[in-house]
Structure 1
Amino acid sequence: MKKYNAGNFFKHTYCEWTEVPLTAIAQKTPNYKSEKGSCYFFSEVGIFRYANHWGRVANCRWKLISDRKANQGFCVGYASWSSFFPNDEKENNYVISVNFLLKEVTFKHYASLKDSDACRRNANDTAKRIVEIKKVLLADDWYKYITHPDQEEVRRYLINGLVNTNKSLLELKRNFLSSQ
């Protein structure tokens, strides 16, 4: 596994940053400031980033894990050097996860997970699959011609199939209906 540090963390990486209070960098001087205004503070074990933009950052995918719903405005994120993973858009690096209770769907880098049996996809396929999952998770149009009495059972079956297989939504619907 590649080791990341202050000299290479910004080159095609995936990372989940944890939001920390502004006081974490209050007495520090940035080691680097980007053209977009982001400030980076390096340490031996990790990095602080003060920025107002997350997600796709140049050739990286950096997610800010925060309790706030909207990540607008400047905030501070922290990541240990071991939290960075290679980000190649064409490689099958991404795994989708769904929280049925909160009705949320997200993706993670497979190397950041303990479960290596999950269905892995490239960035483009992951984004397309998340759109399909959201249609089933957040709306009811897909249920229009299904006569099964338990809509939530069908929803869970379809979403689990979309997450764990490469079958299409139509194929999963057919499989479910034929098993009844």
Structure 2
Amino acid sequence: MDDPFPTDTGLFPTQGPWRAPETLGEETPDRRLRAWLACSGSLTRALRAACPEGFGLRIHRRFSILLPREEADLLRVPAGSPVLQREVWLLCRGQEVVFARSWIPEGALSDPGEYPLGDRLFEPGAGAERLRLEAAPVSAAEGSLWARRSLHQVGPGRLLVGEVFLPAMEALCPPPD
């Protein structure tokens, strides 16, 4: 599968506006999913805790894209600026639980390679700050899934991280409040 969430207008093909997770109420299928969408710390760390015997990461692809206007405005760079698009699958016991897509402008952060981006953003002394956390339903082959996007300030630059919660997430215990 080349692009599991194709879109030419944004991070993911949303079915509604991006909103703060705490405003979603009963729109999401269950409280477990709402807890994952609202997880304010590192999603990587929370997934490791929920899947201590088998957390993993698999790189899907990395390439350069030109930013659409809305996301360029969020990142405070001109529309059409090139950014690194990094796509990974986060795994629990070998099963895909999250598809993550990050947009990293040059100078914001070096490519984390085979390591989870969350490890870089949330490590002590990283100097990264989450500026915004939002959620929205997205179109998928399985129907409608939920995603979130996080805007981070890293030194003088910004980057955008998006995560789609796949059906296998329903089996995982939610992160602690």
- TM-score, structure 2 length as denominator? 0.22
**Which has the greater radius of gyration?**
1
* Greater relative CO (CA pairs within 8 A, separation 6+): 2
